[in-house]
Amino acid sequence: MLELIPDFLQDFFEEFANPQKRIFVGYLLSAFVVALVWLCIAERDSAKAAIKKIFDKNVWLSTSSLADFKIILVNRVIMSGTAAALVTQITISTFLYKLLHGQALIEPLALHFISAGSVAVIFTVFFFVFDDFSRFYVHRLMHRVPVLWAFHQVHHSAETMTPFTIFRTHPIEGFIFTLRTSVVQGIVISVFLFLFGSKVDLITVYGASVGVVIFHSLGSNLRHSHIKIRYPRTIELFFISPGQHQIHHSTEKRHFDKNFGVALAVWDLIFGSLSYSEDRTHKFGLTTKFGEKHNLLHLYIEPFKAAVRIIKQTKVTRGPQGWF
């Protein structure tokens, strides 16, 4: 039976059973529990009303959400045909390790007096923090650089959000973030191998980094949702809440270019783009004419046209206001 299912669909369905992936069924279930508890306690909904709100058919079956699912399938086909051409983190880390080893003024074994357990903790924390910062900064560039914004608008064209809206991205953006992952993780791995050798290890839970497991288990999938969960302000200074990311998708001008962070809010605090969550419902999407914002062909072709127009123009308008 499985042989009748295309490889790209098998890979997608396997992600539901993979703790390294955001849509792992355990993370989706934990998001449901977090949302249910929030609605019942913070908003005083009955369990029945909360469940109905979580699975609101006007959200899950909206034209916008259905477009999300179509994009997921098309992107899987595209990525399955081009993945082999992308540089892997193993290639990058091997190259950088050899480069460091050849140029080093000290022996790589100089820090081997640190215990293996300490190295694992340091590596796991640094790996998570550096990876999170790179996600923040590339995301910030997707908004700040007009040509990149032309492609990132596909994600922001979503007018309703579900945990699957995270996959509503143009393939060009997908390639950029895949390359980011390879480069950043390759750098971290090569540097730590150079400094600590075979003691380098990642603390994992069922094969996934403990940082990733904690992040997703606490309801990261609710960031793309209509459930506006807020943290106390002191916590939102350090960690991005679902409500803060929903502000990032808001159509209100005062919310433009806010909350680029993925897990940590400190980067937005440092770069001046932090905005606290609000106890109100936000409208999602773009504020100017986008064309057929949920038409599949338009979502894939128009960004290229927009990018060409941007390159030809000397003055463009950036941010979530529209194409330009």
What pLDDT, in 10s, does the model give residues 61-74?
999 999 999 999 99
- What DSSP string runs through 6-70? -HHHHHHHHGGG-TTSTT-HHHHHHHHHHHHHHHHHTS---HHHHHHHHT-HHHHTSHHHHHHHH
Of 2-11, 198-207, 258-267, the poorest mean pLDDT is in: 2-11
pLDDT for 289 equals 66
Q: Is the pLDDT of residue 150 over 90?
A: yes
If pLDDT is split at 50, 70 and 90, which confidence band does 127 have? very high
**Per residue in 256-266, pLDDT tens?**
999 999 999 99
Please state the pTM of the whole predicted model.
0.87
- Confirm whether 53 is domain-assigned: no
- Average pLDDT over every residue of 84-100: 62
If pLDDT is split at 50, 70 and 90, which confidence band does 324 have? very low
Cβ contacts of 38 within 8 Å, gap of 6 or more: 227, 229
Cα-based torsion angle of the residue sequence 318, 319, 323, 324 in order, rounded to the nearest 10 degrees: -30
- Confirm whether 11 is domain-assigned: no
**Per residue in 228-280, pLDDT tens?**
999 999 999 999 999 999 999 999 999 999 999 999 999 999 999 999 999 88
- Confirm whether 14 is domain-assigned: no
- Confirm whether 22 is domain-assigned: no
Task: State the residue range of the domain holding 95.
Answer: 60-312
Residue among 90, 129, 107, 98 nearest 195 (CA): 107
Number of domains in the chain: 1
pLDDT for 187 equals 86
pLDDT for 290 equals 63
108: DSSP letter: G
Report the Cα 282 to chain-centroid distance in Å: 20
What percent of the chain has a predicted confidence (pLDDT) above 70?
Answer: 82
pLDDT for 261 equals 96
- Confirm whether 303 is domain-assigned: yes
CA distance 49 to 40: 9
pLDDT for 322 equals 45
Q: Is the pLDDT of residue 216 over 90?
A: yes
Question: Between 82 and 160, where is the model more confident?
Answer: 160
Neighbour tally for 236: CB within 10 Å: 21
Question: Between 5 and 126, where is the model more confident?
Answer: 126
- Confirm whether 122 is domain-assigned: yes
Q: Is the pLDDT of residue 4 over 50?
A: no
Instruction: Decide: 151 and 173 in contact? Cβ < 8 Å.
Output: yes
pLDDT for 281 equals 85
CA distance 37 to 140: 32
Residue among 50, 177, 200 nearest 124 (CA): 200
Cβ contacts of 84 within 8 Å, gap of 6 or more: none
Of 103-112, 128-137, 169-178, 307-316, the poorest mean pLDDT is in: 103-112
- Upper half-sphere CA count for residue 35 (Cβ side, 13 Å): 29
Q: Which amino acid is at 37?
A: V
CA distance 248 to 267: 14
- Confirm whether 187 is domain-assigned: yes
CA distance 293 to 299: 7
